A and B are shown apart, each in its own frame.
Chain A
Amino acid sequence: MKDAMNIRFLIREILHSKSQAVVFILCVALSLVSIVAINSFRSDVQQSIASDARGLHGGDIIVHSHYDFSPALQQEIAALAKKTGIQVARTWEFYSVARRADGQDSLFSNIKAVEKGYPLYGTVELLSGREFSRVLQPGKVVVAPELLKRLGLALGDKLLLGDSVLEIVDVIGRESLRPVDFFNFGPRILVAAADLAQMDLVQKGSRVQYEALLKVADAGQINTLAAGLQARAVTGQERVATYATASSRVKRFFDNLLFFLSLVSVFTLLLAGIGMQSSLAAFLRRKEKSFAILRSLGATGSFLLRHYLVIVFILSFIGCAVGILSGLLLEKNFSTLFAGLLPDNIVLGGSFFDVLEGIGLGLVVVTFFTFLPLSKIKNVKPAAVFRKESDNGRQNRGTYVLIGCGIILLTGLVVRQLNDLRIGLYFLGGVLALIAVISVLIGILLLLLSRLQIASLPLRQAVRSLLRPGNATRPIVVTLASALSVLLTIYLMEYNLHATYIASYPADAPNLFCLDIQKNQQHDFRGLVGQDVELFPIIRARLTSINGERIHRESEMKKRGDSLAREFNLTYRPKLLSDEVLIKGDSLFGNVREKSGLVPVSLLDTVAEMGDMKMGDVLIFNVQGVPMKAEVSSIRSRTKSMLYPFFYFVFPEENLRAAPQTFFGALKVKKSEIAQLQNTIVNHFPNISTINVGETAAELEKILQKLSTIINFFASFSILAGALILVSSVLATRMARIKEAVYYKVLGADTRFVLLVFFLENFILALLSSGCAILVAQAGSWGLCRFLFDIDFDPSWPVSFAMLVMTVCLVVTLGLLSSVSILGQKPIRFLREQS
């Protein structure tokens, strides 16, 4: 018995506590589901973005320079081109003036000379449908349709480029390398690199973007090759990038979203871990007596520990398998959840690596959370068989060391998952702080409960049951409350952000913005769109110093978000806008002029905070060469949607009237007429840009709703963890409950009384959890709204109340369901068995 692994013992122990085992397995599974799903989803998204990136950047490796490549780099590229499995295409892109062969007309155009094989990735679609590489031969060009229109040319006509006469052979439909280009000054002309010499446009003194694109058959070599090229490149002049390192906006968006979902899933993992720990602890506590008997019969502590380790390992393994499988299944269905947000070419599906990583993760979590309860097995003394209560053993030094190691391991895991040391530590700190706050709250409430003099018998009994030894009241309430508070905070923040930025967008607010209206176009512009349009003057200027302290451009630019060193849009007007209120000062410009003789300036609160500027501060602006010394005369705040025009700095008209300025127009147009008006404006005034803001608001709303669904979906996993802990606790205290139910009955209580006690117990439990959660979530959201986002906070009590009701229903139902079998117990049979 001493050394062998007793299989029968293992099987019996597992079978004897089936329900506990199931709860434990579910906890392990739950800890892994969302994290595996998110991890695998992350790698899919990254892969999809990476393959998009190849098409977008045109190669696996991209070498770029504003100068002809240095000899060393050129040699290296030439050497690589000769290797098998590596394809190189060089391009030269520049602007030039293309002329009709008859010299009649000319047009500023964007020329791109490309070598054979271009494009290595992606396509150049031609209107004829022919293949690009066959069409673009020396002496020929393919051009954007705009060029034909503007020069009045047709296919087959000749085009003068530099010293060359080239034949137009086709029209470009779409270039995957150039999907959108906002800074496109002239239409594209694609020409064969072989014609460059004859054109004589690329030489010293030309402004050209030189590029070499490399396609590498063996993806594993890309980074090595790129590093080799980089080593030969002239630093600061020649740039070597791979498709993976070149950044894109889509990538940033998903990085942020997935990062947040990782946070939520790590949170679920921690809660499920607490579930494991408490279900195992409750289970082992129940077993204490049998352990003592086994010890009396000669089993050593390590025999018990060894066997229980194996049991936990088996159960964990099953849990891991269930968790990983469900995680991968879940991820397969992400296309529904994320519909509309996913990149077009994404293929969802788990890889072997995801599974492996999931197993590793699961084992670390299980080890950490089961270690404490298991370590106690060894300490069970044979004497416990004779004692009523076992002493809740003091931990020895070794245990603390092991707990320390566990925490380091767990921190490592979280940091690895979040891929960011600082945020990982903040996150763990935040979660621990949240749990600590809730624990303290619960501790105080439970203490108050135990001191309470309660007249009603069922209520008194319910409270006493909650405080029953061995009951996992505290872990249940803490876990449930933590999960609920995080969920509620997420909801409240979404609700308030939505209310501030989307819903508050008033129906009569302007929905079309017009930029860059010139001073002398004001009159005609009003004539075109109607006299009532609001025109705001815009004067570009820089802030050079605050109270004599210079704004340092380099340090400002390093800051995240807005920078005081950028060029600002100043304006002048005599009064507040309809959505503004003064928060400091009596009027916009006060009596600054009379007092100090300086120019008064009114600040928006956001910019005042940015530069820590106060009333009376002296600011010096550089208005296109002209310095202007101004004193802060008031500070304003905005009450409405961010989609309404606003200005950081407002001056009196007389100080800026003469400054170089353009105008900004905000129009309210019928939705159906926006597009037409946009066209009319651009036709009359090609320099004016228009922005359809109404559409932007609608788009934002859609994306926000989509995101909140996704976030709620993942956050709801943590609720499941809370529910599992509840079930495990009910199971662990089953024996004690049966005993109580029997005694109540023996003492003359009917089933209704017993039911009422159980009901009240769960009811109080639910009230405690959701009450704490609401308290923490409301306080947290208020703080976030007030201090981080600076928006009004609406507590949205109905939602908090709905959450309370739902929690009560869930907890009471779960609690009663698991107690139903107890109610049916016949007292006499139980008493006979026990005696």
Chain B
Amino acid sequence: MVKTLCVIMFITFWSLAGCSQDQEKSPETKQAGGTVKTIVAVGDSLTAGYGLDESAGYPALLERKLQADGYDYQVVNAGVSGETSNGTLSRMEWILTLAPDIVLLETGANDGLRGVDPEVAEKNIRNILQILKDKDVVVLLAGMKMVWNMGPAYVAKFNAIYPKLAKEFDVVFVPFFLDGVAMKGDLTLGDGIHPNAQGYKIITDNLYPYVVQAIKKRTER
């Protein structure tokens, strides 16, 4: 009996049940308070930690590492899967409500994977950096390198965006966010793009000196 209904319900629902939403991690967030300073990790699924438990993503790992080393910082995961630089720009106002001391900006990969004109991504990221500069937020910009199959002309144009903007805004710059992880079968989820738990450990280690540099920059101000 129950089965018949399941069948009926199944049919009733199938045309309405949308595709299952992207499964990126939601961060464990803490209430800001006292002297704890806030780093907001802004980005797409690479920041959100697609397919992994939130504690395995790089913002969580980074927070643990910073606190172990005596830095009084919390790291907020503000990654949204599938987001392009356009989306990131449109939610800057919201991100600023978190009152970040430092923003780790990782965006643009989805623009590249969808073949969006690199000029559009460049314009968006420039706008984001400008907004953060106006608010006097220290920025760590994570560079992205486009997959080779997009063709040499596109790849060259895309890859040039990040060092150029880093110089223009004088921000702390990580040349390649996925350095040593991208296209490694044992460090990604099998799709060659999204890091696994092991991959995020490497990313965190790679980022760490730059983050410390950003903290110093912030303290000097």
Interface, chain A (partner B; CB < 8 A): 66-67, 94-97, 99, 106-109, 111, 161-163, 182, 185-186, 200-208, 234, 236-237, 249, 252-253, 256-257, 259-260, 263, 423, 430, 486, 489-490, 493-494, 497, 501, 519, 540, 542-544, 550-551, 553-554, 557, 565-567, 620, 622-627, 629, 642-643, 658-660, 696, 699-700, 703-704, 707, 711, 780, 784, 788-789
Contacts A96-B150, A203-B148, A707-B8 given; 14 further ones with Cβ under 8 A?
A95-B115, A206-B148, A249-B14, A486-B1, A497-B8, A544-B26, A553-B54, A557-B23, A624-B80, A642-B12, A658-B97, A696-B15, A704-B12, A707-B11
Residues in A with CB closer than 8 Å to B154 are 96-97, 106
B68 contacts the other chain (CB 8 A) = no
Q: How far is the CA of A627 from the CA of B53 in the complex (A)?
A: 18
Q: How far is the CA of A627 from the CA of B4 in the complex (A)?
A: 42
Residues in B with CB closer than 8 Å to A554 are 53
Cβ–Cβ contact A553 & B115, under 8 A: no
Q: How far is the CA of A543 from the CA of B25 in the complex (A)?
A: 11
Residues in B with CB closer than 8 Å to A544 are 26-29
User: Given that A236-B190, A553-B53, A624-B94 are contacting pairs, would A493 and B5 also be in contact in the complex, using a CB cutoff of 8 Å?
Assistant: yes
B125 contacts the other chain (CB 8 A) = no
Cβ–Cβ contact B21 & A567, under 8 A: yes
Residues in A with CB closer than 8 Å to B19 are 182
B114 contacts the other chain (CB 8 A) = yes
Residues in A with CB closer than 8 Å to B211 are none
B130 contacts the other chain (CB 8 A) = no
Cβ–Cβ contact A95 & B54, under 8 A: no
Question: A-B pairs with CB below 8 Å: how many?
Answer: 190
User: Given that A260-B4, A263-B3 are contacting pairs, would A700 and B11 also be in contact in the complex, using a CB cutoff of 8 Å?
Assistant: yes
Cβ–Cβ contact B95 & A201, under 8 A: no
Q: How far is the CA of A620 from the CA of B27 in the complex (A)?
A: 11
Cβ–Cβ contact B16 & A643, under 8 A: yes
Q: How far is the CA of A494 from the CA of B9 in the complex (A)?
A: 10
Cβ–Cβ contact A237 & B114, under 8 A: no
Q: Which of A99, A257, A780 has the most CB atoms of chain B within a 10 A radius of its CB?
A: A257
Q: Which of A95, A699, A789 has the most CB atoms of chain B within a 10 A radius of its CB?
A: A95
Cβ–Cβ contact B27 & A622, under 8 A: yes
Nearest neighbor of B188 in chain A, beta-carbon distance = A66
Q: How far is the CA of A545 from the CA of B151 in the complex (A)?
A: 45
Residues in A with CB closer than 8 Å to B27 are 544, 622, 625
Cβ–Cβ contact B7 & A566, under 8 A: no
User: Given that A544-B29, A566-B23, A625-B77 are contacting pairs, would A185 and B192 also be in contact in the complex, using a CB cutoff of 8 Å?
Assistant: no
Q: How far is the CA of A97 from the CA of B150 in the complex (A)?
A: 6
B120 contacts the other chain (CB 8 A) = no
Among B3, B23, B94, B151, contact of A97 (Cβ-Cβ < 8 Å): B151
Q: How far is the CA of A95 from the CA of B147 in the complex (A)?
A: 10
Among A162, A629, A707, contact of B152 (Cβ-Cβ < 8 Å): A162
Nearest neighbor of B17 in chain A, beta-carbon distance = A562
A300 CB to closest chain B CB, in angstroms?
Answer: 48
Residues in A with CB closer than 8 Å to B76 are 625
Interface mask (B174-210 → A, CB under 8 Å = 1, otherwise 0)? 0000000011010000111100000000000000000
Interface mask (B145-159 → A, CB under 8 Å = 1, otherwise 0)? 001111111100000
Among B11, B12, B40, B182, contact of A625 (Cβ-Cβ < 8 Å): B40
Within 8 A of A (CB), among B1-48: 1-12, 14-16, 19-31, 40, 42
Cβ–Cβ contact A205 & B183, under 8 A: yes
Cβ–Cβ contact B29 & A622, under 8 A: yes
User: Given that A625-B42, A626-B97 are contacting pairs, would A260 and B3 also be in contact in the complex, using a CB cutoff of 8 Å?
Assistant: yes
B153 CB to closest chain A CB, in angstroms?
Answer: 7
User: Given that A201-B148, A622-B26 are contacting pairs, would A66 and B11 also be in contact in the complex, using a CB cutoff of 8 Å?
Assistant: no
Residues in B with CB closer than 8 Å to A494 are 8
Among B2, B28, B149, contact of A206 (Cβ-Cβ < 8 Å): B149
Cβ–Cβ contact B193 & A788, under 8 A: no
Among A253, A553, A557, A659, contact of B10 (Cβ-Cβ < 8 Å): A253
User: Given that A263-B3, A626-B94 are contacting pairs, would A704 and B11 also be in contact in the complex, using a CB cutoff of 8 Å?
Assistant: yes
7 pairs of A and B residues whose beta carbons are closest in the complex:
A625-B78, A108-B115, A542-B26, A660-B91, A627-B29, A206-B149, A207-B147
Cβ–Cβ contact B3 & A256, under 8 A: yes
Q: How far is the CA of A501 from the CA of B21 in the complex (A)?
A: 24
User: Given that A97-B151, A260-B3 are contacting pairs, would A696 and B98 also be in contact in the complex, using a CB cutoff of 8 Å?
Assistant: no
Nearest neighbor of B184 in chain A, beta-carbon distance = A67
B90 contacts the other chain (CB 8 A) = yes
Among A106, A256, A711, contact of B6 (Cβ-Cβ < 8 Å): A256
Residues in A with CB closer than 8 Å to B134 are none
Q: Which of B79, B114, B192 has the most CB atoms of chain A within a 10 A radius of its CB?
A: B192
B117 CB to closest chain A CB, in angstroms?
Answer: 9
Q: Give the size range of B's interface with the partner.
A: 35 or more
B160 contacts the other chain (CB 8 A) = no
User: Given that A497-B12, A643-B16, A699-B15 are contacting pairs, would A201 and B5 also be in contact in the complex, using a CB cutoff of 8 Å?
Assistant: no
Interface mask (B89-109 → A, CB under 8 Å = 1, otherwise 0)? 011011101100000000000
Residues in B with CB closer than 8 Å to A550 are 28
Residues in A with CB closer than 8 Å to B24 are 567
B212 contacts the other chain (CB 8 A) = no
Cβ–Cβ contact A96 & B149, under 8 A: yes
Cβ–Cβ contact A66 & B91, under 8 A: no
Cβ–Cβ contact A658 & B94, under 8 A: yes
Q: How far is the CA of A35 from the CA of B57 in the complex (A)?
A: 53
B50 CB to closest chain A CB, in angstroms?
Answer: 12
Residues in A with CB closer than 8 Å to B40 are 625
Q: How far is the CA of A703 from the CA of B14 in the complex (A)?
A: 12
Q: How far is the CA of A516 from the CA of B63 in the complex (A)?
A: 34
B99 CB to closest chain A CB, in angstroms?
Answer: 10
Residues in A with CB closer than 8 Å to B28 are 544, 550
Q: Enumerate 14 A-B pairs (CB-CB under 8 Å) in ascending A order.
A: A97-B150, A205-B148, A207-B149, A207-B193, A249-B14, A260-B4, A260-B7, A263-B4, A423-B3, A497-B9, A567-B24, A622-B29, A625-B27, A660-B94
Q: How far is the CA of A703 from the CA of B149 in the complex (A)?
A: 45
Residues in B with CB closer than 8 Å to A97 are 115, 150-151, 153-154
Q: How far is the CA of A66 from the CA of B48 in the complex (A)?
A: 22
Q: How far is the CA of A252 from the CA of B10 in the complex (A)?
A: 10
Cβ–Cβ contact A624 & B148, under 8 A: no
Nearest neighbor of B1 in chain A, beta-carbon distance = A489
Residues in A with CB closer than 8 Å to B42 are 625
Cβ–Cβ contact B5 & A789, under 8 A: yes
Nearest neighbor of B193 in chain A, beta-carbon distance = A207
Nearest neighbor of B183 in chain A, beta-carbon distance = A205
Cβ–Cβ contact B192 & A67, under 8 A: yes
B3 CB to closest chain A CB, in angstroms?
Answer: 4
Residues in B with CB closer than 8 Å to A253 are 10-11, 14
Nearest neighbor of B47 in chain A, beta-carbon distance = A625
Q: How far is the CA of A237 from the CA of B1 in the complex (A)?
A: 41
Cβ–Cβ contact B149 & A66, under 8 A: no
Q: How far is the CA of A519 from the CA of B94 in the complex (A)?
A: 14
Residues in B with CB closer than 8 Å to A252 are 10
Cβ–Cβ contact B149 & A658, under 8 A: no
Q: How far is the CA of A96 from the CA of B8 in the complex (A)?
A: 43
B2 CB to closest chain A CB, in angstroms?
Answer: 7
Nearest neighbor of A715 in chain B, beta-carbon distance = B4
Among A202, A423, A542, A711, contact of B4 (Cβ-Cβ < 8 Å): A711
Q: Which of B26, B54, B190, B192 has the most CB atoms of chain A within a 10 A radius of its CB?
A: B26
Residues in A with CB closer than 8 Å to B1 are 430, 486, 489-490, 493, 780, 784
Q: How far is the CA of A703 from the CA of B15 in the complex (A)?
A: 12
Residues in A with CB closer than 8 Å to B79 are 625
Cβ–Cβ contact B185 & A234, under 8 A: yes
